[in-house]
A and B are shown apart, each in its own frame.
Chain A
Amino acid sequence: MGHYLFKRLLLLPLTLCIILLLNFAILNLAPGEPTTQMDLSATGEAVGTQKSSSTNDPYILFRQHYGLHLPIFINRWPLIKKSKLLQALSQLHTQKKDSSELNYSHYQNLKRGWRDRGKYIPKLLFEVLEGDLDLPLKIEALNLLVNSGIRCGYQSSFLTNKQKLENQKISKNNLFLSTQSLLKTADQNAFETNLHALKQWAEANQLLEPYSFSQKIHILFTETRFFCYFSKVLRLDFGTLRNDSNKKVTHEVFKRMKYSIVLCAFPLLISFVLCQFFGILMAYFSNRWIDHGLSIFFLVLYALPIFVVCPFLIEKIALHHHFFFSKIPIPLSGFHSSDEIYHSLLSYQRLKDISLHILLPLLASLYHCLAVQSRISKTAFLEALSQDYIKTAKAKGLKTSYILYNYVGRNAGITIITSLTTSIGVLLSGSLIIETLFGIDGFGKFFYSGVLNRDYHVILFSTLLGSFFSVTGYLLGDICYASLDPRVRFT
């Protein structure tokens, strides 16, 4: 068994890696502009706005932060051929592709793409600029060179001296370059002067030396989005939030995790205890009224979708009503009362406050799990009760409670525990709707708003965490299965 366990544990990080890769591929290969930001309105729906895609600084910074200015998997940009460059220049100038008009977004994409590529081909650009071409195309090439030279400096509250020096150099360069760009209607003289100045600048900054072979190999693999992201992941640095670059993703997620864990773990434990009770009841009195009644009850509970139950609970039970036999109004939202009240309470009062607030959300996440587990436990107990050794034990004269506890319980427990552990992953994703409707600031809601904001770091880390819990659930289930049932041997 230890050997099997070892193989499964080895497989765990491999599975997570592949899931991360899959998500990374989906995020990057999917169409759609990354700067589209959708907000989460108060009722939890998606309302979209589009940020302007221009050359303003926040936009460039955003692209650099996510590495969107680099290609996805491999970087073959130093090897761009001259013919391709000429073709691109003519497309940019005439805004036509194969004699059909480029629409605005395609044109912007083309401009952006070549601006990113321009950084790697300065020598080729200068060759083109000094060669035989029409003036408009040469002006286009000059603008490309200038725009691709503009960089963003380091932006943070704490800069090292080295970073400060770099920033000074970059800002000097940017200042120089921004004076060198030309209008499309410039004439030959202006072009000549600017070209001369740029050539001097390039020679001063050693831009015209060709890339050595080792440099090319280095660029091929390391200047890509893939390498950027995964090198950080291996150091367990999952990035920062999109809107606020001081907050780390891991910190934010774990801050909210405690609410979601409470909403997931308690239903699991409660339904584990209750489902056995109901299961034995339904199996022992099978085909009588209790069995039929409970079956139908659990069937209806199983079929009720969660976004029907939550508004029902909020509107019919919580709104304007009080708890049984008391004057306490049922709280409508939140995990606990507002911060001022909460922090002024003693610890047992805090416990009471929390338990009042999460009673309804717990109910909402409990009912489905309970229904599923009860049905499964009924089947398990029924199967165990129909075995021959139960008949023998009864014939021998053993007490019913002794039989139920020792013979039936242990044999049926295997199925129940494995089904329970495999439902951990499902619970986590189900908590999304509960948190949104009950106003609890939990992991599901955070992930949902991350998806709407297209916050790549949040999405990748959250899916990783979600799949980690699912995979761990399956692993736990297998371990329980193997350890509880002595007949099971993993070869």
Chain B
Amino acid sequence: MKTTLFYRFYKQKLAFFGLLIFCLISLCGIYAPLFTSGMPLLIVYKTKLYFPLFSHLFYKGYFSKSIDLFFNLLMFFLPLFFLIQFCLKKNLRKIAYLTTIFLFLFIFSFILKGAVKNPAHLPSEEWYHTSALLPNKTKALIVGQLLQKEKRNRDLISLLETKGYSYQRDTMDPKKKLWLQVQQNHVSLIVFPFIKLYHWEENAYGQQEINQILPWYHTTRLNRKDLVAGLIFGIRPCLMTGIASIALALLLGITFGTISGYFGKNIDLCCARFFEIWEAAPTFFILLLITSLVHSKSIFLVIFILGIFTWTRFAQFIRAEVLKQKALPYVTAAHNIGFSHFKIMTSEILPNALFSIITLIPFAMIGAISQEAGLSFLGLGEENSSSWGVLMDEARHAFPLESYLLWPPACLLTCMLVSIALIGDGIRNCLDPKFRIE
């Protein structure tokens, strides 16, 4: 009978279900532009293939938040990581991972500086008069964008007519419309994004009256941006906070914990007192303080502060583990052979101590995601971000007229947190030697 870790995890149906939900949500979040964006994915114009969305993926003018650009790049690198994990041999894997990570950071730094120019650069306002002079690619991109706008207007109007509400949203210049109708004949195939046809940062022109009539998945937020697009793109800051702040906390916690546990006596005494003092500082209060003092609000500040204040938990845990391990004879043997302190810490003690910290990580992630959503809810996170806390904050302001906006982000946040908690429970049961698989 197989007794590997993954098999033990897989056998617990609930935990596996949690892992599935989490993977589903994070894939949705990483590949979010495919599900909801303002450009079609594929357009065949004059028998040539063009990809409007992919041309705009790294363009800073379209995706203005750097988190979006990060995840857009990750969209392409994720299959690469999977390939490395499952197809390469073990020796090559480390080098392959390192090279891909360096490549990723290199390309990301270029994108951040604004290396990608506007793919659909228009020379003047009334461009459709001289449209014959534009290159085919620009025409294809623009035609695709306008066709998408037409389609979503048509869908909205037909939906509202079934509810008995007549709605006019005709904002296009008639000459432009004529030009579009001519160009439409050149288009043989167009593929729209799968779920919604709005980009989360663009104005969806919703109104309060029609919001009351429509079902929740067609409504707009308080600032008139699309709700579902905001929800899907809101997975990105959530994931980023969960992983990045815990990574920072782990880094600090493991370093300080190992140092404190390994070199006993005086250093241990000072470090243990330092952990106590840092832990006793009330995190939420100091969080509020720092975010309100520093005037530039950004998500990286939030991640930094969350990481800075959760490392003590890991440090105390690791310190206890390292103290236990240090008493075992293999450490004395390693010392006698002549290994340096650093080598003993990293290759002998840490692999055994880290094993039990895996159970702490999911619950720490839940705490970090909750706190980030809480900070955005209070208005101290990044402004105009798609984070779920910001959505819930807007809904709270609209109480009680448009307060139905509160429930979709709340449900999604709860689903995410519950799935991570299920994974955490599953891992804890896996590693518990007394747990029996039925």
Contacts and interface: CB of A to CB of B under 8 A. Distances in A.
B281 A22 contact: yes
B275 to A, nearest CB: 11
Interface residues of A, number: 52
A299 interface: yes
B277 A19 contact: yes
B293 A27 contact: yes
Nearest to A447: B285
Contact of B293 (A18, A32, A44): A32
A459 B276 CA distance: 21
B206 interface: no
B280 A15 contact: yes
Contact of A448 (B273, B288, B393): B288
Contact of B281 (A32, A300, A467): A467
A311 B292 contact: no
Contacts of B280: 15, 19, 425, 467, 470-471, 474
A471 B280 CA distance: 6
Contacts of A470: 280, 282
Q: Which of B284, B370, B399 has the most CB of A within 10 A?
A: B284
A373 to B, nearest CB: 15
A45 interface: yes
Range of interface residues on chain B? 35 or more
Interface string B30-46: 00000000000000000
Contacts of B276: 11, 15, 474
The A interface, classified by DSSP as helix, strand, loop or mixed, is helix
A26 B282 contact: no
A222 to B, nearest CB: 27
B97 to A, nearest CB: 32
Contacts of A459: 289
B434 interface: yes
The B interface, classified by DSSP as helix, strand, loop or mixed, is helix
Given A32-B295, A299-B418, A300-B418, A451 B281 contact: no
B373 interface: yes
Contact of A308 (B14, B399, B414, B425): B414
Nearest to A437: B396
Contact of A18 (B277, B380, B397, B410): B277
A45 B403 contact: no
A454 B294 CA distance: 12
A46 interface: yes
B116 interface: no
A386 B366 contact: no
A299 B425 contact: yes
Contacts of A307: 373-374, 377, 389, 392, 396
Given A15-B277, A305-B413, A311-B399, A23 B286 contact: yes
A466 interface: yes
B292 A466 contact: no
Nearest to A296: B14
A146 B393 CA distance: 51
12 contacts: A26-B289, A43-B396, A45-B378, A45-B379, A287-B438, A304-B417, A305-B417, A307-B377, A312-B406, A315-B399, A447-B285, A474-B280
Interface of B: 14, 273, 276-277, 280-286, 288-290, 292-295, 366, 370, 373-374, 377-380, 389, 392-393, 395-397, 399-400, 403, 406, 410, 413-414, 417-418, 420-422, 425, 434, 438
Interface of A: 11, 15, 18-19, 22-23, 26-27, 30-32, 38, 43-46, 287, 292, 295-296, 299-300, 302-308, 311-312, 315, 319, 386, 425, 428-429, 432-433, 447-448, 451-452, 454, 459, 462-463, 466-467, 470-471, 474
Top 7 closest pairs, chain A to chain B, by CB: A303-B417, A429-B284, A466-B282, A308-B410, A30-B293, A303-B418, A45-B379
